[in-house]
Amino acid sequence: MPQTRKKYRTNWPQPEDTTAGCGPLVTPGFLRHVGELLFGPQWLSPLALHLGAVRGKALSPATVHRWATETRSIPVWVAELLPEMLLMAQADLAVRAHRAGEIAQRMRLPQALPQAIEYA
C-alpha cells in the first residue's frame, strides 16, 4: 500500500486586526508575554486549557499557537478575557505572598526550649 503524504491547509485567511473598533490591543507578542507571565515557558497548553474552560468549549493549543505566530487573528473574546486572568493571577499571588510571609515569621520566632524534667 503506497504511503500518502498528509496535506496541510495553506490557504488560511490573513490575520485580521483585532484592535479595530473599541477592542483592546492584543498582539501576538503581547499574547506570548501574558501567557509566559501566567503559566511560564510552557504556556501554550495551560493557556488553551484555561481559555477553553472559561469559554465552555475545548480549545486546542495549536489554535493558541496560530494566534501567537500570526497565522490566525486573536479573537476579541480572548482580548477581553486576558485582563481578568491577569487580575485573578495577581490576587492569587498576593494571597500566596501573604502566606509565605506568615510562614517565614513563624520560622523566625525563637523555639521554646523544652522544660527540664526533674526526677524525684
pLDDT per position as a tens digit, 34-50:
999 999 999 999 999 99
Rounded to two decimals, the pTM is 0.66
Specify the length of the chain in residues. 120
Provide CB contacts within 8 A for 61, sequence distance 6+.
44, 45, 47, 48
Decide if pLDDT at 20 tops 80: no
Contact between residue 61 and residue 4 where contact means Cβ atoms under 8 Å apart: no
Residues sharing a CB contact under 8 Å with residue 22, sequence separation 6 or more, in sequence order = none
Q: What is the mean pLDDT of the chain?
A: 82
What pLDDT, in 10s, does the model give residues 94-109?
999 999 999 988 888 7
Domain range list for the chain: 28-108
